[in-house]
Structure 1
Amino acid sequence: MPLDLFTPDDTAVLLIDHQVGTMGWVRSATFEDMKANALALAKAATALRMPLVLTSSLEERDQGPLLEELKEIAPVEYDNRVKRAGVVNAMDDPEFAAAVKATSRNNLIIAGVTNDVCTVYPTLTALDEGYRVQVVADAGGSMSKLADAVALRRMENAGAILTSANMILTELALNWASPAGKALIPIVGELIPV
């Protein structure tokens, strides 16, 4: 049976609510690790010219602004981010759902800052709508390790593929000598612990 891997040509990246305030609520992962993994996904999307959809919720409240580095990595996508007015499931926001549909990609890489809130509901909705989804578990976390484990299990049971930032980047590269591989080598290198 041949592998049915995601490729840069058939995949979009969705980053949901990587806001400095919300990131501070996570206890199952460190702020630094979540940030590094989310930024790596944004860099990969930009380097491989993959559609990148950013969204935030209530930036003017405790959730705070999106990571400032996202503006440097993907300025157009940052400026065009969908600013939700509190809708928990990003896919329930008509503007976000339209942005996802406009990518014309059937494969979605989804990373939300909180796996048990920001990631789980859009993932379940996307699966229900027929998308193939890989959830980047280490680009987010939850308020407890148990909450994170339960959220990941729920998404996997619904049909999502669980992955890590490093794993999905190497899947997109497939061959380090390819143009995609060469573009991703430095991004993967940034994830290596020092």
Structure 2
Amino acid sequence: MANTATLTDISAVTASPSPDLLTPDNCAVLFIDHQPQMFFGTGSGDRTAIINATVGLAKAAKTFDVPTVLSTVAAESFSGPLLPPLAAVFPGQEIVDRTSMNAWEDVPFVEAVKATGRKKLVIAGLWTEVCVVLPTLSALAQGYEVYVVTDASGGVSPQAHEHAVQRMVQAGAVPVTWLQVLLEFQRDWARTETYGAVTDVVKEHGGAYGLGLVYAHAVIGEHAAG
């Protein structure tokens, strides 16, 4: 009898995931200032890797139909257009252009976030120490939960990036990576409706893990687990 009760308890627990988990139904993804001029000044990590992570995150949001807000700063006068591979994931979507470094001080941006109806915000942007940290602190102060995608963000130096991440964590933000977000959305390889799209994103942007999936699918078959 004791063993049966234990199994029942375990089943009840696994059927009720933690409210802290990100799901396609409880969050919005915000991309802030992934623009040429901002990339020129990014020195915290490999810029190609940041671009790869950014586009991977975008495809994760697109695959699961997660509300997404795209924003730029001074696109026509200084920073240039939104990263083309990022814009290509969301063709025709409005891009909120601002003059303020803190996106949360821009009314159209905040209205776009509020229109998603989500209280969990997944944020990535350039630079970490300005255009990510400022809206993150502002959103936290207004009761939002913020998850910062650190590998899809970059600062002017490693110290600037790391100190900004530390500051946000101390304020209550949660650091994540783009692949973590994608797999947290999927969470079960038996979800066949998104399995193919998720594995395609991993193959294209997941580095060695993606190559592993290519190999597994070639040797084992298309239904090999991720």
Shorter-chain TM-score tier: over 0.9
Aligned counterpart in structure 1 of residue 178 of structure 2, from 160, 165, 173: 165
Aligned to 1:92: 105
What fraction of aligned residue pairs are identical, expressed as a percent?
A: 40
Instruction: Give the distance between the partners of 2:127 and 2:31, measured in 1 at CA.
Output: 11
CA distance in 2: counterparts of 1:182 and 1:128, whole angstroms: 38
Match of residue 133 from structure 2: 120
Query: What is the 5 A alignment of 1:1-194?
Result: 3=18, 4-77=20-93, 80-84=94-98, 86-178=99-191, 179-193=193-207
Note if contact 2:29-2:61 (Cα within 8 Å) is conserved in structure 1: yes
CA distance in 1, matches of 2:118, 2:196: 23
Unaligned runs of 5+ residues in structure 2 are 1-12, 209-226
- The alpha-carbon deviation at position 181 of structure 1 amounts to 4.2
Q: Give the TM-score taking structure 2 as reference length.
A: 0.80
Using the TM superposition, give the Cα deviation of residue 76 of structure 1 relative to its aligned residue in structure 2, in angstroms. Answer: 2.8
Contact 1:14 1:53 in 2 (8 A): yes
1:188 counterpart letter in structure 2: V
1:134-157 Cα offsets, whole Å, 9 max, x none, are: 100010111111111110000000
Q: Based on CA coordinates, which of the two structures has the bigger radius of gyration?
A: 2
Question: Structure 1, unaligned stretches of length 5 or more?
Answer: none
Separation in 2 of the partners of 1:27 and 1:15? 19
Structure with the bigger percentage of helix? 2
TM-score by length of 1: 0.93
Separation of aligned partners in 1, 2:122 and 2:139: 11
**CA RMSD, Structure 1 to Structure 2 (Å):** 1.5
Kept after mapping to 2: 8 A contact 1:115/1:148: yes
- Report 1 or 2 for greater relative contact order, CA contacts < 8 Å, sequence distance ≥ 6: 1
Amino acid at match of 1:175: D
